[in-house]
Structure 1
Amino acid sequence: MAIKSGFIVKMLQAGVIATALTGAVSAIAHDTDNEKLNQALHSDYRSDAAARDEYRHPAETLSFFGVEPDMTVVEIWPGGGWYTDILAAYLRDSGTFYAAHFNPNSDVAYFKRSREAFGKKMAEHPERYDQVKLSVFNPPDQYDIAPVGSADAVLTFRNAHNWYMNGGGEKRLLAAFSSFYRALKPGGVLGVVDHRLPEDRDDAEQQTSGYIKQSVIESVAKQAGFVLADTSDINANPKDTANHEKGVWTLPPSYRLGDVDRAKYQAIGESDRMTLKFVKPKK
């Protein structure tokens, strides 16, 4: 059946075709973004790291946090670069990516070694990492992770417990979250994944176990000015009791007990984790 031009004009004026076209373009863009994320996840150099995907669910986690390839994203304490490998590729063409690592001049030997190894990895593979911007996150002294108000998202994976442990407590955690707040744009997202301590357990366990209560994270984030936008069980693991001889490091991939009960801990898998999405309010 032929469609008269006058009918098309009327439909355009009514916004029907415009709405349909907008939806189609959005769907195409979303599929393109997903393809770009899939490419990053299935890069050849992730062949070993991808073994952890079943526990860490990077595609679902980044989608939950709303990370898009044209965003400015800060990853806090990337360690060896497990998530960096994904984010650097995903954001390479149209986004900006800051890796806020340890102070290269730290007095802590582990911090210094880790930062040197990360820098070496970046330098040896410019085809992957030459667009990565290195910054420093070194509480309680340095928090300049990115220019103030520049980031669309700040992401931290299994780090918040470190700032709480060893006497840091909520004070140091608040200082960290406040720095994330400063770096974010209004409306920007703070994504937190961490080992979850059951709420009915003794608070003192947070000092040594590597686990931290979700209520503590939520409380400190609120104090820093964030609003809790959503929570997810993407990275939950009901097999994990959060009660192990060597804390969370008893489980894979650390296996602090070596071969002792290794099969048992392998069957449990990686830790039970909270996945929290906070937003810096628009004022």
Structure 2
Amino acid sequence: MKLRNTTITLITAMGLTLSSASAFAEHHSIADKVKQAMQSDIRTDAEKERDDNRLPAQTLEFFGLQEDMRILELIPGGGWYTKILAPLVAEKGQYYAAMGTSGIKERLTNTAGFEKIQIVAEDAKLWREEGDRFYSLDLNGFGVNNIDIVFTFRNYHNFNAQGRAAMNKAAFEALKPGGIYAVVDHTARHMEPMNGANRRRVDPVLAIKEIQAAGFEFVDYSDIHYRQDDELEYEVGAKSVTGNTDRWTMKFRKPN
């Protein structure tokens, strides 16, 4: 009996070792692919200069990106993250983009290596009510489902309460059970009244409450974008903080 138990223990340990080794290899494979995408000639020098501040490899590792995932990026703008995300999942997964996609549609979708990009929810309507500095949003979902991760980088602050609620709801509907909602934005002081300096900042506690209200579970946060020298006092475009704002980085999950 003692020999049998010892054998079982050894087999179990070997299995755990092999599993750990496999996970380690997979992690490094993803890390290597992210770094490879970061060095691509498709990225401009100006884009690469922001790598040390935006830390895409660490950010995507925190959110748990894998190359076989179906991912959706919201408001990709000029494609700073698209140029990293799309190549990473091109072979085994799928990249989708929604809202604010004209830039990548014009510049990337016909570029070698980016042909699989799919633009969705092109009928989404963003507008600002008279006197409102933020966008309202009207959309009937993103038109895709079973998504593994929905990303939105520094976009949450662009919307008013109605727009944020609509975006959170659509993200929830697009994700598969257990899927991740990955959100990064500029930090505002908790409960600070709205003013000209914080209009492109978001109270992280408010964001958590709103995203949980859409049905999400709060999973974790990362301090990789914490910036001690950002006093949370100046507009994000101010010379003292531009390109180096304090940002909250939070992970939410759609319940299983």
Aligned residue number for residue 78 of structure 1? 76
Aligned residue number for residue 184 of structure 1? 175
* Cα displacement (A) at 1:116: 3.7
Asked if the contact 2:77/2:103 (under 8 Å) is kept, the reply is no
Asked if the contact 1:55/1:270 (under 8 Å) is kept, the reply is yes
1:117 and 1:14 mapped to 2: Cα distance?
54
Gaps of 5+ in 2: 127-136
Sequence identity of aligned pairs in percent? Answer: 31
Tell me if 1:158 matches 2:154. Answer: yes
- Residue 194 to residue 129, structure 1, CA distance change in 2 (3 Å): same
Aligned residue number for residue 105 of structure 2? 119
Asked if the contact 1:74/1:145 (under 8 Å) is kept, the reply is no
1:187 match: secondary structure = strand
Aligned residue number for residue 55 of structure 1? 53
* Cα displacement (A) at 1:31: 1.9
1:216 is matched by which residue type in structure 2? L
Aligned residue number for residue 20 of structure 1? 17
* Cα displacement (A) at 1:12: 8.9
Alignment match of 2:237 (pick from 244, 249, 256): 249
1:192 and 1:175 mapped to 2: Cα distance?
15
Aligned residue number for residue 275 of structure 1? 249
Tell me if 1:87 matches 2:85. Answer: yes
The 5-angstrom pairing of residues 123-138 of structure 1 reads: 123-125=109-111, 127-136=112-121, 137-138=124-125
* Larger helix proportion of the pair: 1
TM-score (norm 2): 0.85
Figure out how many residues of one structure are paired with residues of the other and give that number: 240
Gaps of 5+ in 1: 1-5, 103-114, 252-264
- Residue 74 to residue 20, structure 1, CA distance change in 2 (3 Å): same
1:208 and 1:15 mapped to 2: Cα distance?
54
* Cα displacement (A) at 1:61: 0.7
- Residue 200 to residue 238, structure 1, CA distance change in 2 (3 Å): farther
- Residue 206 to residue 63, structure 1, CA distance change in 2 (3 Å): farther
1:78 and 1:173 mapped to 2: Cα distance?
16
- Residue 192 to residue 17, structure 1, CA distance change in 2 (3 Å): same
1:38 and 1:116 mapped to 2: Cα distance?
26
* Further displaced range: 88-97 or 207-216: 207-216
* Cα displacement (A) at 1:189: 0.5
Aligned residue number for residue 224 of structure 2? 234
* Cα displacement (A) at 1:19: 2.9
- Residue 146 to residue 87, structure 1, CA distance change in 2 (3 Å): farther
Alignment match of 1:31 (pick from 10, 28, 32): 28
TM-score (norm 1): 0.77
1:273 and 1:20 mapped to 2: Cα distance?
37
* Cα displacement (A) at 1:143: 4.5
1:248 match: secondary structure = coil
Aligned residue number for residue 62 of structure 2? 64
Asked if the contact 1:12/1:18 (under 8 Å) is kept, the reply is no
Tell me if 1:221 matches 2:211. Answer: yes
Aligned residue number for residue 96 of structure 1? 94
Asked if the contact 2:198/2:233 (under 8 Å) is kept, the reply is no
The 5-angstrom pairing of residues 202-217 of structure 1 reads: 202=193, 204-205=194-195, 209-217=199-207
- Residue 238 to residue 146, structure 1, CA distance change in 2 (3 Å): farther
